[in-house]
Amino acid sequence: MNLRRLLAVPEWAGSVRVLAGVTGLDRPLRTVVATLTPAHEPARDELVVVVAPVSPADWRLDALVRHSADAGSTGILLPALEPLSGTRLLADRLGIPLLTSTADPLELLVTARLHLAAPDLDRAELVMAAHRALDDRPRSPEEVVTLLGELLRSPVALLDDRGQPLAGELAEAGLVRVEEPVAQRISVDDGVLLAHPARGLWVATVLRGTAAARADVVPPALAVAASAVQRWLLANRLELERDARSRSALLGDLLRLDDEPSADLRRRVADAGWRLGGWHIGFRLGVSSTVDVVARTREVVRALGADDTVVVEHGEGWTGWLTLDAEPTAARVRRLAARLRAAHKVLGRTLDTHMGVGRPHPRPEGLATTVAEATDAARLAATRPETGHFLHVDQLGLAQLLLEWTRTDTFEPAARALLAPLRQVPGDLVRTLAAYLDAESSLAETAAVLGVHRNTVAARIARVEQLLGVDLRRRDERLALHLACRTVTLGD
């Protein structure tokens, strides 16, 4: 124990000031004694606590400072006293810490002796205080940061996996080595930075001045705060998944709509804050199957940055749309598409994404149409790095004409002839191929849709490639077969 560590104890930190002799704060501390007057013979490693009032001009104060330096004492605590400048200069020159406090000196003495007798007492008290403050109920990151900051009397922040603050402020946040998921202690100017991992996030604080002496005490409290953050993450995740399932189910009902929406469906749409009337412009943002779509939804919403945009977790990515009161002009459609492209570019910094945008369509049935267009465009965008993996249906050119061609009588016979070898053998290969291409070549998702094992899907797809003499890794062949499957399925 040293004097700097004692000054970081909460009871001392809030009431004791250092008047002089700051260079001696790291002197060892072994005993704390009380004296009524400055006429005391100090001992080595001893903190002298003067409990009775003393005159600032009392010559014995200077004598006590000199004797303390000669004996190798730790320092002197005076009761609510501002010594003369000469006394302070003497303490500075000899490196003897001169302290003062308006608190009861005897209570400070008792606290100091308790911590000397049980060096881990401060750590235990801090951990218990953290448990009491954060308890077992989920608390938001802002609450955790605020409560812990009050306990530590130091700035606290919750950092994301890139070291950026999610709650609280910490100028030194960039020093945390986020790629190393272990508790960290990093020296900074006049202090120390402490960080503790919390399921991909970080609870961090900077202890400065005398507070830095508690660097060995604070880490367990950071671990308690990290546990509180993890409880919030779990509770928040469950709520996000419940909301995502609800939104996805509602979107599915809207996309399957083939008549006027029922009163119940209109009420659910209103409860979600969506609009059925007006003109809709759909978009589809696709990602790989390894992306945690639910967890990244807030990032997507922030990137889109508009209150008029609906975003729904849907399969391997997000489906969304903007709703306008009147039919938009071509110029406005281009501006909206440019806004979506900019958002896609921002997301591309941390996500491998592809995005498609549909054309404006009115009323509830128009919502399904524009979303379908956006989904087709996104599927094409996934194979077009030259466009930045972004496509707007109005800019598709030949590919869009091909999509339109599938709706004509000319294409259907050609599509049936192309898929005829699959219809001549058992195994429901046409349906399997259509589901596989709809699932963006995902064996797992296709198996879930068909209700079979993924190995069964893999075997069927291999059989399809053999019968048709195609390679489904080639994007042009995938596109042709996908269009043929859609045409045949709709015709049946």
Q: What are the residue ranges spanned by the domains of the chain?
A: 3-117, 121-232, 257-396, 406-491
Written out in words, the top-level CATH class of the domain with range 257-396 is alpha beta
Percent of the chain with pLDDT over 90: 48
d(CA 452, CA 233): 34
Sign of CA dihedral 384, 387, 391, 393: negative
Q: What is the mean pLDDT of residues 90-105?
A: 93
d(CA 88, CA 65): 9
pLDDT digits (tens, 9 = 90+) for 228-273: 998 888 888 888 888 889 999 999 999 888 778 888 999 999 988 8
Strand-pairing partners, residue 195, are 184, 204
Q: Is residue 82 classed as helix, strand or coil in its secondary structure? A: coil
Pick the closest to residue 487 from 410, 378, 373 (CA basis).
Answer: 410
Pairing label, strands 317-324, 191-198:
unpaired
Strand-pairing partners, residue 31, are 46
Range with the lowest mean pLDDT among 78-87, 117-126, 187-196?
A: 117-126
* Helical packing angle, 293-304 and 330-347, nearest 10°: 130
Pick the closest to residue 73 from 33, 104, 116, 35 (CA basis).
Answer: 33
Q: Which of 19-23, 384-388, 402-406 has the highest mean pLDDT?
A: 19-23
Find out whether 203 and 213 touch, Cβ atoms under 8 Å. Answer: no
Find out whether 394 and 333 touch, Cβ atoms under 8 Å. Answer: yes
- Mean pLDDT over each residue of the chain, to the nearest integer: 88
Q: What contacts 289, CB < 8 A, 6 or more positions away?
A: 316, 442, 444, 445
pLDDT digits (tens, 9 = 90+) for 144-190: 999 999 999 999 999 988 899 999 999 999 999 998 889 999 999 88
- For the record, the structure tokens of 223 come out as 């671990």
Q: What is the CATH number of domain 3-117?
A: 3.40.1390.20
46 versus 295: the higher-pLDDT residue is 46
Pairing label, strands 46-50, 75-79:
parallel
d(CA 152, CA 131): 13
Burial 422-446 (b: 16+ CB within 10 A, else e): beeeeeebbebbbbbbbbbebbebb
Yes or no: is domain 121-232 CATH 3.30.450.40?
Answer: yes
What size, in residues, is the chain? Answer: 492
Q: What is the mean pLDDT of residues 110-119?
A: 82
The whole-number pLDDT of residue 397 equals: 44
Q: Which residue has the tokens 């939804």?
A: 297
The whole-number pLDDT of residue 406 equals: 56
Topology of the domain covering 406-491? Arc Repressor Mutant, subunit A (1.10.10)
Percent of the chain with pLDDT over 70: 95
Q: What is the mean pLDDT of residues 264-287?
A: 92
Find out whether 168 and 155 touch, Cβ atoms under 8 Å. Answer: yes
307 versus 175: the higher-pLDDT residue is 175
Range with the lowest mean pLDDT among 222-231, 415-424, 427-436, 454-463?
A: 415-424
d(CA 483, CA 401): 12
CB neighbours of residue 358 within 10 Å: 26
Q: Cα dist. 327→261, 281, 346, 357 in Å?
A: 21, 10, 28, 16
d(CA 462, CA 456): 10
pLDDT digits (tens, 9 = 90+) for 394-428: 755 444 545 545 555 556 776 787 888 998 888 88
Pairing label, strands 75-79, 184-188:
unpaired
Pairing label, strands 191-198, 184-188:
antiparallel
Strand-pairing partners, residue 78, are 100
Strand-pairing partners, residue 100, are 17, 78
d(CA 10, CA 122): 9
The whole-number pLDDT of residue 452 equals: 92
- How many secondary structure helices (H) and strands (E) does the chain include? 18, 16
d(CA 15, CA 12): 5
Find out whether 266 and 276 touch, Cβ atoms under 8 Å. Answer: yes
82 versus 312: the higher-pLDDT residue is 312
By CB atoms closer than 10 A (0-12, 13-18, 19+), residue 302 is exposed
Pairing label, strands 317-324, 390-392:
unpaired
